[in-house]
Structure 1
């Protein structure tokens, strides 16, 4: 089994990596100064491995990529956006425990 890692996206690559993805995508909108963002990062890294090939997990730095973050309507971080077939299906704002994130990911696969 290959180890999957989270993928970094930017304003320039957001559409291609998220909206045009062939598999569902979880988008982690974060910033370096955000404590709760750092809390959920290891959970997302683990889930990227657990769901490799079925769901892609990407990270976008809110400070470095204001265009994409504004376009998707993020007002608070961390925010997790759950995308399927080019559209956001769900969203979690704030740090949540792994079971809550997994439940949202499973719903994407349903």
Structure 2
């Protein structure tokens, strides 16, 4: 029998979180309801965004939960996968863009080598 990397989300786990920090749990739940409510962005769009971000933050609980919420809101598998590809490109783009820091450090090192 293999052991799961992450424990399954259970009612008992949720209850334990509530018991350990009830005020913070209530505030977090209220915040989530406000964030995912219909607004300038439709709830479906917000859930698609959440699925994409969950892949970047690599939260398995968020991936599962927001995928289910997105499907309930009317998202399709194609929309979710496309959003995940956008998130992947943005994450890769961040690494590519930060290469500027390495290039700057190389230039600084080369400048220091010339002045030694």
| Shorter-chain TM-score above 0.5 | no
The structure with the larger Rg is 2
Decide which structure has greater helix share.
2
Q: Which of structures 1 and 2 has the larger relative contact order (alpha carbons within 8 angstroms, sep 6+)?
A: 1
Decide which structure has greater strand share.
1
Q: TM-score range by the shorter chain?
A: under 0.3
TM-score normalized by the length of structure 2: 0.25
